[in-house]
Amino acid sequence: MWYSLTRRGSRGRKGSALRHRTRFSTIAVVGIIAIIGAACANNSSTTNGGSTSGAPDCNTPPGCVTVASGAPIEIGTLLATTGATKSLGLDSLYGVQLAVDYLDQTFDGTNGQVDGHDIKLVNETDGCSADGGQKGATTLAADPQIVGVIGTSCSSASLGVADTIFSNKGITIISPSATNPALTTAGTHKPYYFRTAHNDRIQAAVVADFAIQVLKAKTAVTIHDESPYTQGLTDGFKLNFEAQGGTVSSEEAVNSGDTDFKGLLTKIAQPPAPDVLYAPDFNPVCALIEKQAADVSGLANTTIMGSDGCSDSTFIPIAGTAANGNYLSGPDLTAFSGGDFYQNQFLPAYKKLAGSAPISVFHAHAFDAANIMFDAIKKVAVQGSDGSLTISRVALRDAVQGTSNYQGIIGTLTCTPLGDCATSVKIGVYKIPNVPFVDPTAKPVFSETKTLAEVK
C-alpha cells in the first residue's frame, strides 16, 4: 500500500511503514527529585534515525513540557469552527480527530497513543479573524501543558497574531489551511510556524495559467475582502496574469460583512467588461458575488472564478444554480494518490465521524499536520523511569523542521526553514457544480503541479 502511517507505539502494534521507528528508551534516574528534573536527567532518547545522547535543556526558555505518568499529551487546535466559515474549520478538526483515531493504525473509533500516553485535543476557534486568532492563541498559549497546536484555519488569524503568540511561547504550530505567502516569507515568518497547506504563490500562478491558457482571457478584475488570504491571492494572480500578457484593469475590495454587491458588479460590467472576474473570497461573500453577478447583464460574457476560501458546504446553497459554469480552484483531491487509503479508508471514516462527506477541502492537510506533530513528539520525547515524558519545545520545533520526504495523504512533504512543508503542489480548477465539497471524487477541468522554486 502506498500510504502508511504505521508506528511502533506503546500498545505494541507494529506494521510495515515508510519509516522505521524505535521506542524511546527508559532510563532510571537516581535520587528523589522533581518529575521534570528526573526527565531532564535522562541522558538518552531514541529518535527516528537512532539514538541521540544528551538530556533536553529544560532550564533555558522556552523549556520543556512534562507529561506525568498516565496523563495525556495535550495538543491544541485553533480552527475556524464557529461563524460563517465553520465548515472550513470543522472539516480540518475532523481530520485531526481522525489522525488521533488512526494512531493505532485503524479507524475503529478507539484512539491510539503516543509513547503510552493518550492524546487530548484542546479545541479553540480562530473565528477566521485576527481577533479570534488573538483570543484563541492567547488561551492555548497560557496552558503550560499544550505541547503543540494544529491551526489556524485562516491566514488572518495567524499572520502577526497566532504565529507570533505561539512563537513567543515556543509552541510549535502547523496550519492545514492558512495559505497567505507572508506566513512563510523571510522577514515575516515566525520560527515555530509551519503549514501543510499550500503557499498561495502556487495557487495564484495556477489560476492565472488557467485564465490565460484555457479561458484565453486578456483582461481581468479582482475582488478581495481585505483579508490576508484573499489579498494574497488577488495580488499573486495579478502578478502572474500580467506576466503572461494579461491586464488587470481594476483591483476592488469589499468588506467581509457586506451582502449587497450589485453596485460594484454593475460598475465592473461597464464596457468593456473583463474577460475574468477573480473573487477568491470567503463565504458568504464569494457565493453572493456569484449569485448577484448573474443578474448583471453586462457580465454575461465574464467568467467568474473563486478559490478554496469559497469551497465549503455553504457555497452551493447560497449561490444556487447561478454559479453553474463558473470555476473554483483549490487542492486537487484527485492527486491524493495514496493507493486506496484516501478513498476507501479515510473518506468512509470521515463520513462516519462527521455524518457527511467532507464539507471543505483541507481535511487531509489537517490529518497530515497532526501526524507530523505526533511523529516529531515521538522523536524527541524522553521517557522517565516513572512513565512520564519530557518534551523539549526547541527540539520539537527542530523535529518538525526536519521533516523530509514524509509520505502523507496529500503527497510528499518536506518542511523548509521558512515553514512550508508542501513545496510541490497540484492545484485543480473545478467547474461548478462539480466540486469536491459536493462530490469528493469530482475531477478538475484543469490542474497543474508547481513548486515554490518556480513560481513568482
Distance of CA 408 to the CA centre of its chain: 13
Asked if the structure places residue 13 within a domain, the reply is no
Q: In this structure, what C-alpha cell is assigned to residue 171? A: 509552541
Query: What is the radius of gyration, based on Cα positions, of the chain?
Result: 23
> Are 292 and 165 found together in one domain?
no
Asked if the structure places residue 11 within a domain, the reply is no
- pLDDT above 50 for 390: yes
Residues of the chain with pLDDT > 70, as a percent, come to 88
Distance of CA 38 to the CA centre of its chain: 36
Give the C-alpha separation, 156 to 86, whole Å: 15
Asked if the structure places residue 34 within a domain, the reply is no
pLDDT at 56: 87
Residue 110: exposure state from Cβ atoms within 10 A (0-12, 13-18, ≥19) = exposed
pLDDT at 336: 87
> Are 373 and 311 found together in one domain?
no
Strands (E), 71-198: 73-79, 113-114, 117-125, 146-151, 172-175, 193-195
β pairing state of 327-331 and 424-431: antiparallel
> Are 212 and 317 found together in one domain?
yes
> Are 110 and 167 found together in one domain?
yes
> Are 89 and 161 found together in one domain?
yes
* 330 bridge partner residues: 428
Residue type (1 letter), 448: E
pLDDT at 50: 30
- Higher pLDDT pick, 419 / 29: 419
Q: Which residues contact 187 (CB under 8 A, 6 or more apart)?
A: none
The closest alpha carbon to 197, from 210, 212, 181, belongs to 181
> Are 441 and 323 found together in one domain?
yes
DSSP assignment string, 175-228 = ESS---GGGGSTTT--TTEEESSPPHHHHHHHHHHIIIIIS---EEEEEE-SSH
pLDDT at 339: 62
State the sign of the Cα–Cα–Cα–Cα dihedral 122, 124, 126, 131: negative
CB of 430 closer than 8 Å to CB of 330: yes
Look up the pTM and report it: 0.87
Residue 249 has what DSSP assignment?
E
Look at the chain and report how many structural domains it folds into: 2
User: What's the CATH number where 216 sits?
Assistant: 3.40.50.2300
- Higher pLDDT pick, 89 / 47: 89
pLDDT digits (tens, 9 = 90+) for 120-167: 999 999 999 999 999 999 999 999 999 999 999 999 999 999 999 999
> In this structure, what is the dihedral angle of CA atoms 317, 318, 324, 326, given to the nearest 10 degrees?
-130
> Are 290 and 212 found together in one domain?
yes
- pLDDT above 50 for 223: yes
Q: Which residues contact 349 (CB under 8 A, 6 or more apart)?
A: 98, 101, 102, 107
> Are 209 and 259 found together in one domain?
yes
Please give the average per-residue pLDDT across 200-224, as a whole number: 98
Asked if the structure places residue 6 within a domain, the reply is no
Asked if the structure places residue 354 within a domain, the reply is yes
pLDDT digits (tens, 9 = 90+) for 242-271: 999 999 999 999 998 999 999 999 999 999
Give the C-alpha separation, 89 to 97, whole Å: 12
Asked if the structure places residue 56 within a domain, the reply is no
> Are 187 and 207 found together in one domain?
no
- Higher pLDDT pick, 24 / 284: 284
Per-chain mean pLDDT for the chain:
89
Res. 440 pLDDT band, cuts 50 70 90: confident
3-state secondary structure of 308: coil
Lowest mean pLDDT segment, chosen from 9-13, 83-87, 305-309, 375-379: 9-13
> Are 433 and 373 found together in one domain?
no
* Residues written for the chain: 456
> Are 166 and 227 found together in one domain?
no
> Are 349 and 400 found together in one domain?
yes
3-state secondary structure of 329: strand
Give the C-alpha separation, 204 to 309, whole Å: 13
Asked if the structure places residue 50 within a domain, the reply is no
3-state secondary structure of 35: helix
pLDDT at 237: 98
- pLDDT above 60 for 218: yes
Asked if the structure places residue 359 within a domain, the reply is yes
Structural domain boundaries enclosing 433: 201-331+429-454
